[in-house]
Structure 1
């Protein structure tokens, strides 16, 4: 893992649409230099809930330089969080950035 904090775009209050698969009308928050390495999953989720002033039941992340349809991954527990950190701090890339999507409508989208 890189020693640098993570930069992320947090998308919320949007809605996922299936055909084509997109996230419509989101609010976007840019979070710069977030030190997620010192957080566990529960702390990270609490941070996001405070950031967007809402609950985060259904959370997803998208790998860098990939479309939603190709690389949207669910973020629901500590194991997913470890994979999220690995993706965000990819050693092959100097730009430690990852996008987070919060589904306020609680629809299962990865079936």
Structure 2
């Protein structure tokens, strides 16, 4: 898929790697962050994107996630599993008219990142932390 020729510049991808995801709150610690602004990611498919990442980080890129810059990590994180997911990144990134930026994260430790995001600790108005339980259907 080629990027939209009407775009005047490429999508900037902030690649976060060699770090560690931790839960409560979900963060990516001790990362190396590289901003890539001179590559046409829209002209790549997922296989080419993964090869690009593997060369950049000099290692495996089996678990790749993205998050738009306008959302907290726990709410916006998505795993890139196939070409449809990858092209969603491109579309989402180019629709961010404010900055054309996308954050990409590499999970080197096969952590249950999406499970952690689903169970994210939410701080209420009083400063207390509570777990959101999606299975709790009780009206108490």
> Does the pair score TM above 0.5?
yes
CA distance in structure 2 between the partners assigned to 1:76 and 1:108 by the alignment: 15
Partner of 2:113: 109
User: TM-score, with normalisation over the residues of structure 2?
Assistant: 0.73
Task: Indicate yes or no: 2:71 matched with 1:66.
Answer: yes
Q: Give CA deviations for 1:47-103 in whole Å, capped at 9, x if unaligned.
A: 01101111101000011221101101111211101111111110x614211010000
Q: How many residues get paired?
A: 110
Partner of 2:60: 55
Greater share of strand residues, 1 or 2?
1
In the alignment, which of 88, 94, 98 is matched to residue 89 of structure 1? 94
User: TM-score, with normalisation over the residues of structure 1?
Assistant: 0.91
Alignment of 1:16-55 (within 5 A): 16-55=21-60
Unaligned runs of 5+ in 1: none
Q: Give CA deviations for 1:25-57 in whole Å, capped at 9, x if unaligned.
A: 111111112201211110011001101111101
CA distance in structure 2 between the partners assigned to 1:29 and 1:41 by the alignment: 19
The Cα RMSD (Å) is 1.4
CA distance in structure 2 between the partners assigned to 1:30 and 1:95 by the alignment: 13
